[in-house]
Amino acid sequence: MKRFALSWLLTLFVLVAAAPGFAQLPKLDAFMKGLEEEGVYAGSVLVVRGGSPIFRGDYGFSDEAQTQKNDAASVFYVAEVEETILATLVMMAQERGLVSLDAPIGTILPEFRDKPGPRVRDLLCHAAGFRAFSLDNVKYAESGTRTLAGLAAEIAAEPLLAAPGTRFDWEHKDYAIVGYILELVTGKPLPTVLSEWILQPLKMKKTGAGLYPGGKELAWVSRSTQFQERLAQWKGGYLPSDCVYSTVDELELFFSALASGKLVSADSYKTMQTALVNDGKDGSGLGVAITPSGTIWEAGHSPSGYRALFWYDPRYDLRIIMLGNKWMPASGSGINKILCSQIYSALGLKE
Residue 81 in contact with residue 72, Cβ under 8 Å?
Answer: no
Residue 228 in contact with residue 234, Cβ under 8 Å?
Answer: no
Q: Which of 11-15, 162-166, 187-191, 216-220 has the highest mean pLDDT?
A: 187-191
The answer to whether position 7 is within a domain reads: no
Tell me how far CA of residue 233 lies from CA of 141, 177, 184, 304, 342, in angstroms.
6, 17, 21, 16, 40
**What is the per-residue pLDDT for 56?**
95
Provide the β-strand partners of residue 57.
45
The answer to whether position 10 is within a domain reads: no
Mean pLDDT, the chain, integer:
87
Model confidence at 347: pLDDT above 60: yes
pLDDT, one tens digit per residue, over 44-54 is: 999 999 999 99
**What average pLDDT does range 154-181 have in this prediction?**
92
Question: What is the distance between the alpha carbons of residues 39 and 56, in angstroms, rounded to a whole number?
Answer: 19
In the chain, pLDDT over 90 holds for what percent of residues? 66
Model confidence at 17: pLDDT above 50: no
* Residue 7 confidence class, pLDDT cut points 50, 70, 90: very low
**What average pLDDT does range 89-104 have in this prediction?**
98
**What is the per-residue pLDDT for 157?**
93
Residue 329, classed as helix, strand or coil, is coil
Mean pLDDT lowest among 93-97, 171-175, 225-229, 265-269: 225-229
For residue 48, give the CATH number of its domain.
3.40.710.10
**What is the per-residue pLDDT for 322?**
95
Give the number of other CB atoms < 10 A from CB of residue 267.
Answer: 10
**What is the per-residue pLDDT for 305?**
74
Model confidence at 215: pLDDT above 80: no
pLDDT, one tens digit per residue, over 78-88 is: 988 999 999 99
Angle, CA 119 vertex, CA 115 and CA 124 arms, to 5°: 130
The answer to whether position 97 is within a domain reads: yes
**What average pLDDT does range 65-75 have in this prediction?**
87
* Residue 8 confidence class, pLDDT cut points 50, 70, 90: very low
**What is the per-residue pLDDT for 3?**
43
pLDDT, one tens digit per residue, over 231-290 is: 889 999 999 998 999 999 999 999 999 999 999 999 999 999 999 999 999 999 999 999
* Residue 133 confidence class, pLDDT cut points 50, 70, 90: low
The answer to whether position 15 is within a domain reads: no
The answer to whether position 244 is within a domain reads: yes
The answer to whether position 2 is within a domain reads: no
Q: Spell 227-237 as b/e; 16+ CB within 10 A means b.
A: bbebbbbbebb
Question: DSSP code of 168?
Answer: -
Question: What is the distance between the alpha carbons of residues 234 and 239, in angstroms, rounded to a whole number?
Answer: 7
Question: DSSP code of 300?
Answer: E
The answer to whether position 66 is within a domain reads: no
**Domain span at residue 215?**
21-61+71-347
Question: What is the DSSP code string of 1-65?
Answer: -HHHHHHHHHHHHHHHHHSTT-BS-HHHHHHHHHHHHHT-EEEEEEEEETTEEEEEEEESBSSTT
**What is the per-residue pLDDT for 66?**
80
Q: Based on the structure, what is the number of domains in the chain?
A: 1
Model confidence at 120: pLDDT above 50: yes
**What is the per-residue pLDDT for 224?**
67
Give the number of other CB atoms < 10 A from CB of residue 225.
Answer: 14
The answer to whether position 267 is within a domain reads: yes
Chain centroid to CA 32: 21
Question: What residues have CB less than 8 Å from 324, skipping those under 6 apart?
Answer: 41, 42, 43, 44, 60, 76, 306, 307, 308, 335
